[in-house]
Amino acid sequence: MSTTASGATSKISVRNLKKSFGANEVLKGINVDVAEGEVVCVIGPSGSGKSTFLRCLNKLEDITAGTVSVDGFDLTDPKVDLNAVRQHIGMVFQHFNLFPHMSAIQNIMLAPVELKKMDKAAARAKGMELLERVGLAEKADARPASLSGGQKQRVAIARALAMNPGIMLFDEATSALDPEMVGEVLQVIRDLAADGMTMVVVTHEMGFAREVADRVIFMDAGVICEEGAPEAIFSHAEQPRLQDFLAKVL
Amino acid sequence: MLAVLALSLGIASASASVLPAPAPAAAPMMPAAAPAAPAAAADVQGKTFAIATDTTFAPFEFRNGSGDLVGIDMDLLRAIADNQGFKVDIKSLGFDAALQALQSNQVQGVIAGMSITDKRKLIFDFSEPYFDSGVQMAVAKNDDTVKTYADLKGKTVAVKRGSEGETFANSIKAKYGFTVKALADSATMYDDVKAGNSVAVFDDYPVLAYGVSQNNGLKIVTPKERGSSYGFAVNKGQNADLLAAFDKGLSNLKASGEYQKILDKYLAAPATAQKTSFFDLLVNSFPALMKGLGMTLLATAMSLVIALVLGVLFGFFKVGESRILRILANIYVEIFRGTPLLVQAFFFYFGLPQLTGQPLDVLTAGVITLSLNAGAYMTEIVRGGIQSVDPGQLEASRSLGLSYVTSMRRVVVPQAIKIMTPSFINQFVITLKDTSLLAVIGFAELTYQGQQIYASNFRTGETLIIVAALYFIVIFILTQLSNVLDRKFNK
């Protein structure tokens, strides 16, 4: 863990992050650095604070204490333009959260048109490129309601990529999918990893984490319990809590 | 304030003009600089005075078949105005409301078959008496049991609130052992007797006689009691010139014989109305009802547009992050949802002008009332609609870097509108029907026009069926249309 001055290679730097909902402290002091191009998978039992941690990285959750820096911007600084920072961070949700009143391509075009004032033709061309990348070019004009779960999530990934973010956050992106659709979504994420995207992936797919992650973080009860290379985590777990967890899920 | 709230809820009152009238003409304007020649008395020549009257006190004031306000008071007032060279803007408000309007300076005078009493003289200045009245008792046409006051023992009689009949009934009720029930207008009294709720009415003789001649279903059973005299009233110490002109004109008309001609027209031999068919009633009342329907739709449309703006504004306050704006929106909603629409209507038409000194015409007051009332419900519809959109939608939009406002505009609101549309249509129907409550402040909408019609022809049931059918047809058509549009745009 780099404790040296905000490393030039550190895309995300989290220091002593605490988050409470009322009296309930969900995150109890998290310290993490994510290097450029690194893929970090976060695993742990439900209620361990994985999703809350991820949502603090683009400040969908207010931060109770500590600091979160992304691309050199301190998210806890009230002067920082959150909307600008968020354009550098793509996020994919468990329940897709596609906009149901827009077609697939309109979902993707929304941010470029609104934020970059891109003209519609250019935004559409860019959107089609992204849809091709996730293998759904033929579904451009389909409404989300007519797409399968796996297709929805692939469109959601394409939407998250529309602003050319340097970082992607995945919040249990395959948990709500039927088993036969998990593969197609994981493949898209795998491709992104291969392209060198910096990613933080909260997941229950242990096989995927082991295969794709550069580093695995095991969270339990609001703290990082153990972290390391996939091999070390999955084959040489030190903490009894991690051993218990792996025994249950593997 | 209490006096305002205590106003009767009975028949309506209204600006005689059907189109939105300008605010009642202000008290006569004095020239900026007094002319060199001393004007002996303030002159009324060429000026316009707003005069309030009752809605239906036939034969003193009522609407004829074509919807025009006629009667002894009306003919007399117009003849006097002609004679003295001033103009009148007659406001048909209802008796209580007319007195309220005078006291709040919404009008300069009242002529409403009003008896001159010592109590009233404390707050009003009266003209010379223009009519000597007297109270008689009438019972249902087919009632042979009540012929004298003594037959009333243990029974209920109907009177018109604030009338001579009420005073007289109260003066003898202990002696004869009956109960007095005060109602707002003559038509309601007659209906109360016909429905069997009361056995008799006490009312001024010309009014009763006229009603009987128009088939009101009653018969007169007692001789005329010695009664009081009617006078034209202005606020005490104000509009002395108007009062003087009225007296002068009255004596001119008496001298010329025109006064007697007016009385004879309504009292000597009122043409006995022929009972006509339902179809005739429909045809005859149609023009007036259509005018009323037009006003209903106008008030509904204006109110809904304003209510929508208020609802969106306060609805966003309610879901927004500012505590102060949330509290503000809550206060607004609680006040207008937590008080009756009728009280609000009275407040904006009678109460507010007394507090501010700024009179409001009836359309303005009515639209303000309905807008603020419907706006409170719209606020809740908007709040509910926005809150029922999955919070994940806003999160997804914000995570893309879109601002709160852009996210609302592009993502949340379009989905909320779809959810809100049925509630909007519902509120639209409610507001349309609520316009009927404005009849009590004299807004000449559909219900009011209906009341005017049965007040002079006493065919309450049939007229109300026509009025209800009109509401039903219009609401049915508009809701079908709304549903089609909803399906078309909210796929």
Q: Give the integer Cα–Cα distance in Å for B129 and B298.
A: 41
Tokens representing B152?
A: 């009333």
Nearest to B150 by CA among B180, B179, B175, B181: B175
Task: Give the DSSP H or E segment for A81.
Answer: none
Residue A31 three-state SS: strand
- Chain A, chain B: beta-carbon pairs less than 8 Å apart: 60
Are the C-beta atoms of residues B458 and B272 closer than 8 Å to each other? no
Q: Does A114 touch chain B (CB under 8 A)?
A: yes
Predicted local confidence at residue B491, as pLDDT: 64
Question: Positive or negative CA dihedral for B165, B167, B168, B172?
Answer: positive
Q: Give the integer Cα–Cα distance in Å for B175 and B155.
A: 13
Helices (H) and strands (E) in chain A, counts: 9, 10
Q: What is the maximal distance between C-alpha atoms in chain A? A: 56
Nearest CA in chain A to B393: A97
Q: How confident is residue B66, by pLDDT bands cut at 50, 70 and 90?
A: low
Predicted local confidence at residue A147, as pLDDT: 95
Q: Does B222 touch chain A (CB under 8 A)?
A: no
Predicted local confidence at residue A24, as pLDDT: 93
Task: Give the DSSP H or E segment for B459.
Answer: none
Q: Give the integer Cα–Cα distance in Å for B437 and B177.
A: 36
Nearest CA in chain A to B398: A83
The 10 Å Cβ neighbour count of residue B297 is 16
Are the C-beta atoms of residues B218 and B201 closer than 8 Å to each other? yes
Q: Give the integer Cα–Cα distance in Å for A40 and A49.
A: 16
| CB nearest to A115's CB, from B398, B401, B411 | B401
Contact B390 A86 (CB under 8 A): no
Question: Which residues, 6 or more positions from B148, have their beta carbon under 8 angstroms from its beta carbon?
Answer: B221, B222
Tokens 């404790």 sit on residue: A3
| CB nearest to A101's CB, from B395, B406, B415 | B415
Tokens representing A207?
A: 């096989």
> How many angstroms separate the Cα of A156 from the Cα of each of A93, A147, B473?
8, 12, 48
Strand order in the sheet with B14-15: B14-15, B87-92, B48-53, B109-110, B233-235, B124-126
Burial of B66 (0-12, 13-18, 19+ CB in 10 A): exposed
User: CA B198, B204, B205, B210: dihedral to nearest 10 degrees?
Assistant: -80
**pLDDT 10s digits, B127-186:** 999 998 889 999 998 888 888 899 999 999 999 887 788 888 999 999 999 999 988 877
Identify the DSSP state of A90. Answer: E
Taking residues B445-472, report their average pLDDT. Answer: 89
| CB nearest to A86's CB, from B392, B401, B414 | B401
Contact A99 B396 (CB under 8 A): yes
Q: Give the integer Cα–Cα distance in Å for B298 and B300.
A: 5
Which range among A137-151, B7-21, B181-195, B473-487 shows the weakest confidence by mean pLDDT?
B7-21
The fraction of chain B above a pLDDT of 90, given in percent, is 50
When scoring B399, B412, B418, B491 by the number of chain A Cβ atoms within 10 A, the one with the most, hence best to mutate, is B399
Taking residues B316-323, report their average pLDDT. Answer: 90
Q: Give the integer Cα–Cα distance in Å for B228 and B243.
A: 20
Q: What is the maximal distance between C-alpha atoms in chain B? A: 89
Contact B402 A93 (CB under 8 A): no
Which range among A128-132, B265-269, B397-401 shows the weakest confidence by mean pLDDT?
B265-269
Contact A163 B400 (CB under 8 A): yes
Q: How confident is residue B20, by pLDDT bands cut at 50, 70 and 90?
A: very low
CB contacts, 8 Å: A101 with chain B:
414-415, 418
Q: Give the integer Cα–Cα distance in Å for B304 and B108.
A: 33
ipTM above 0.90, yes or no: yes
How distant is the alpha carbon of residue B453 from its chain centre?
14
Are the C-beta atoms of residues B201 and B212 closer than 8 Å to each other? no
Amino acid at the residue B150: A
Nearest CA in chain B to A85: B401
Domains of chain A: 10-247 (3.40.50.300)
Amino acid at the residue B265: K
Are the C-beta atoms of residues B402 and B410 closer than 8 Å to each other? yes
Taking residues B37-50, report their average pLDDT. Answer: 66
How distant is the alpha carbon of residue A24 from its chain centre?
24
Taking residues B382-400, report their average pLDDT. Answer: 95
> How many angstroms separate the Cα of B64 from the Cα of each of B53, B92, B454?
16, 14, 11
User: How far does A203 lie from chain B, in Å, by closest CA?
Assistant: 19
Contact B399 A91 (CB under 8 A): yes
Contact A99 B393 (CB under 8 A): yes
User: Which residues, numbered 196 to 235 in chain A, qualify as contacts with chain B under a Cβ-Cβ cut-off of 8 Å?
Assistant: none
Predicted local confidence at residue B31, as pLDDT: 41
Question: Which residues, 6 or more positions from B206, have their beta carbon under 8 angstroms from its beta carbon?
Answer: B59, B60, B72, B131, B133, B266, B267
| CB nearest to A97's CB, from B392, B406, B414 | B392
Q: Give the integer Cα–Cα distance in Å for A159 and A169.
A: 13
Identify the DSSP state of A203. Answer: -
Amino acid at the residue A61: E
Q: Give the integer Cα–Cα distance in Å for B477 and B481.
A: 6
Contact B402 A58 (CB under 8 A): no
Taking residues A93-116, report their average pLDDT. Answer: 94
Nearest CA in chain A to B413: A101
Q: How confident is residue B34, by pLDDT bands cut at 50, 70 and 90?
A: very low
Which range among A218-222, B267-271, B370-374, B407-411 shows the weakest confidence by mean pLDDT?
B267-271
